[in-house]
């Protein structure tokens, strides 16, 4: 089958966007998973952290389904939703829209550039739950906020929440970031285990200057990525719960792919997070895929020029992190 796609990224978390609104593709569930595993392979001519299927919606301006590089589907993707927001808004000539996701119809909007000439969108991250059954996390507690999980670590404390995809977050110091402990814990909870039967995204967070944090994430279904939008949003919320940052204030979230901003909103113990950051296109391509034989070829590939400007944002962020000793 012939497929057109755009490759883009949100803070270095890169995705293949497949437009099912304009094109008359009709993928079965197994084809969606198979395409993700085949096209996201970093040893192939494409490679990405996941695929974003952009689909018609009966109730919103568009619909996003996100598949990780291992072919598993996730309920939400913050960096990916900014790319889908851009694609749908530009297609329909909108500055704001509603995008249907697995668990909620979410508000998205075009924003002022977060960095000169870097196309920027804001997306709503919601719903948020601290109920452990919503991850799921199998421990006999109503929630897990800044507590130990002895099976994973004797010294680290963790918070667990679903936004709505599952996140396990630990606020750490530089030495823990530089040790191999995050990889160890992440691989343990993303291979068959009793604690997290569906796996979990694992983030280590370091508080920097006031209103600034650094987040490093091992993503369920992918591995370490440059950034994870839902993880950066969930981490921002956890830093507010721990008194390191404040709700309704901009939090600069640094990551290995650059910088985004989060604003945590609280309404009677209900939280949502606004995630603001780049939505950068890298190239568009036409490919021929033979899923039976698990092969594909790139028929054409045309680069965009936006990445050149994005790399200036990324260099600034990396300079800041170097000064912070990261």
For 102-121, the DSSP string reads SS-EEEEEEES-SSTT--EE
Query: What is residue 326's three-state secondary structure?
Result: coil
Peptide bond into 136 cis (omega under 30): yes
The residues of the shown chain that bind ligand API, judged by CB under 6 A, are 13, 49-50, 66, 68, 74, 77-80, 165, 201, 219-222, 228-230
Smallest gap from Cβ 234 to ligand API, in A, equals 9
- Residue 40 annotated to the active site: no
Tokens 């851009």: give the residue: 86
Give 206 or 220: the residue with its C-beta nearer to ligand API.
Answer: 220
**Strand-pair category, 250-255 with 96-100:** unpaired
Smallest gap from Cβ 193 to ligand API, in A, equals 16
- Residue 228 annotated to the active site: yes
**Strand-pair category, 212-219 with 250-255:** parallel
* Rounded CA separation 275/260 (Å): 7
For 182-225, the DSSP string reads HHHHHHHHTSS-SS-TT--EEEEEEE-STTEEEEEEEETTTEEE
Closest CA to 134 of 243, 234, 37, 240: 234
Give 148 or 183: the residue with its C-beta nearer to ligand API.
Answer: 183
| Helices 78-92 and 229-241, axial angle in degrees (round to 10) | 120
* Rounded CA separation 68/71 (Å): 5
Closest CA to 167 of 194, 134, 141, 138: 134
Task: Sort 9 into a burial class: Cβ within 10 Å, 0-12 / 13-18 / 19+.
Answer: buried
List, by residue number, the catalytic residues: 77, 228
């Amino acid at each position: 089958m012939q497929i057109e796609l755009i490759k883009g990224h949100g803070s270095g978390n890169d995705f293949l966007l497949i437009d099912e609104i304009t094109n008359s593709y009709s993928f079965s569930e197994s084809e969606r998973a198979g395409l993700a595993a085949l096209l996201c392979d970093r040893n192939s001519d494409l490679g990405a952290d996941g695929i974003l299927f952009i689909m018609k919606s009966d109730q919103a301006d568009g619909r996003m389904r996100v598949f990780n590089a291992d072919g598993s589907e996730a309920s939400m993707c913050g960096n990916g939703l900014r790319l889908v927001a851009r694609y749908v808004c530009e297609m329909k000539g909108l500055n704001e829209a509603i995008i249907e996701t697995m668990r909620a119809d979410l508000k998205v909007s075009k924003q002022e550039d977060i960095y000169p000439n870097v196309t920027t969108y804001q997306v709503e991250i919601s719903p948020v739950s601290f109920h452990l059954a919503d991850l799921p996390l199998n421990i006999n507690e109503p929630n897990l906020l800044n507590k130990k999980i002895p099976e994973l670590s004797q010294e680290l404390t963790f918070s667990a929440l679903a936004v709505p995809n599952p996140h396990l977050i630990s606020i750490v110091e530089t030495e823990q970031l530089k040790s191999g402990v995050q990889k160890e814990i992440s691989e343990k909870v993303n291979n068959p285990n009793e604690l997290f039967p569906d796996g979990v995204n694992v983030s280590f967070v370091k508080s920097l200057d006031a209103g600034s944090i650094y987040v490093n994430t091992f993503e369920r279904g992918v591995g370490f990525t440059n950034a994870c939008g839902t993880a950066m949003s969930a981490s921002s919320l956890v830093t507010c719960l721990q008194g390191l940052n404040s709700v309704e204030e901009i939090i600069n979230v640094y990551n290995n792919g650059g910088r985004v901003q989060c604003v945590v909103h609280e309404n009677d113990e209900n939280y949502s997070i606004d995630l603001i950051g780049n939505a950068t296109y890298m190239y568009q391509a036409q490919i021929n895929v033979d899923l039976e034989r698990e092969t594909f070829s790139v028929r054409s590939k045309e680069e965009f020029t936006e990445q050149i400007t994005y790399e200036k944002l990324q260099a600034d962020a990396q300079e800041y992190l170097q000064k912070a000793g990261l």
